[in-house]
Every structure is written in structure tokens, then in C-alpha cells.
Amino acid sequence: MIDLTNVTKTFASKTIFDNLNLHIDTGEMVAIMGPSGSGKSTLLNIIGLIDDFSSGTYEFDGIKNIKPNSRQANRTIREKISYIFQNFALIDDETVGQNLAIAQKYLKLNKAQRQKQIDDALQTVGLNGYADRKIFELSGGEQQRVAVARCLIKPSKLILADEPTGSLDGDNRSLILNELKNINRLGKTVIIVTHDPLVAKECSRTIAIGSSSEN
């Protein structure tokens, strides 16, 4: 599904990573780890067609070198990719339900089906009854769970998660990890950037950025 060949990323005069080679199969659940500044989030953004690279080749789902912000990139993101960002990427002054409804934009569902899908997703992440709550009223952990619920709603082949458990306590971390594993069991590819070895342990393998090792 994902093939990066000799990919280099530079920013100003700094090389973030050089001649990176990476292959991830459809249906894998992979952790990306590395020291601060090693380019973990940058790599995730390249994979997710948000950021471009300086040289090399990136093939996603059989298509090579899709340019970020292009019509093809926007369509691919809409149809195949979901994100869980560190900053949650939620609209603070709208309700949980309104935020989740954005993920339903291109789904052919009636009003009752849309509401049921939202209610089911919130129940799955332990936020039953939160649909009418404003995002700014929620804790960081609750906002992260809304972001995961959004991934449950949007039909995607690839889930990209940047520190999805970073703001969660132990119980909520386990809940979110279990949901990501459930998503993976549906055949979806899940890639998690994390600094937490306990999160990485739940993945099928770990890719170390800034190191030659892979587990």
C-alpha cells in the first residue's frame, strides 16, 4: 500500500531525513518511533499527502508521487485517508455532533442514519450522550476520543495517528488503542507516531526513525 524509495526531506538548510526507504502493507498496524526532531510527524504528513518531500519516490495505493494540495491528493484524502492529529483538528465552537458530521459529508445517508452513526461512534469511544457538547467544553482526552470517533465514521483505507494517546490516562489509552486495533482488524492500515513503548508494543512492528533498526 505504501512505498517510499530513497525519500529525502529538507527544510531550509536542514535535512529532516535522507534516502528513507519504507514499505507498509495493506492491513498492517505500524508504530513509528524516534527522538524529538527526527521527522516522525513530517513522515506521517508525507504519507498522508499533507506535506511534500524533496526527492525520491512515494507510491500510495498504486499511484506514484501524488502532489499535496492537488485535485488527486484531495480526492485521495477524502476517499482513503483519516487522520488523528496531536491538536485534534476539531472546531472548538461547534458541537461534537457537528464535528463528526463533517466526516459524513460524502456519505449517502439519511438524517436518521447519520445520527445513528454518530451515536454509535460516540458510544464506542465512551462518549455516549456527548453529541450536543461543545468541543471547548471537553478535556484534552475527551477531544482525542472525538477525533477517534471521527475515524470510525469516515470510510478510509488508511488511519494516520500522531500521538493518539499522548493526553490520555491509562484507562483511556487502553480504550483508544483497542479501538485502533478494532479498526485494523477490519483490514484498514493503521500507522501510529508515538513516543510510548507500550503503544508501540501493541503494533505488529515498529519503525525507528533516526535509527537503522526495525522491530
More confident residue, 86 or 57: 57
Total domains present in the chain: 1
Cα(198)–Cα(58) distance, rounded to whole angstroms? Answer: 29
Structural domain contains residue 201: yes
Structural domain contains residue 215: no
pTM, two decimal places: 0.90
Confidence band of 87 (pLDDT split at 50, 70, 90)? confident
Specify the pLDDT at position 172.
80
End-to-end CA distance of the chain: 19
The type of residue at 91 is: I
Confidence band of 91 (pLDDT split at 50, 70, 90)? very high
Structural domain contains residue 102: yes
CATH of the domain at 38: 3.40.50.300
Residue-wise pLDDT tens digits, 199-208: 999 999 999 9
Specify the pLDDT at position 212.
46
Alpha helix (H) ranges present in 134-213?
140-153, 170-185, 197-201
Residue-wise pLDDT tens digits, 155-200: 899 999 999 887 778 888 888 899 899 899 989 999 999 999 999 9
What mean pLDDT comes out for the span 44-73?
Answer: 97
Per the prediction, the chain carries an average pLDDT of: 92
Cα(107)–Cα(11) distance, rounded to whole angstroms? Answer: 38
CB contact burial 136-162 (16+ within 10 A = b; e otherwise): eebeebbbbbbbbbbbbbbebbbbbbb
The domain in which residue 10 lies consists of 2-208
Specify the pLDDT at position 59.
98
Structural domain contains residue 85: yes
Residue-wise pLDDT tens digits, 99-156: 999 999 989 999 999 999 999 999 988 899 999 999 999 988 899 889 989 999 998 9
Statement: residue 2 has pLDDT above 50: yes
Statement: residue 31 has pLDDT above 90: yes
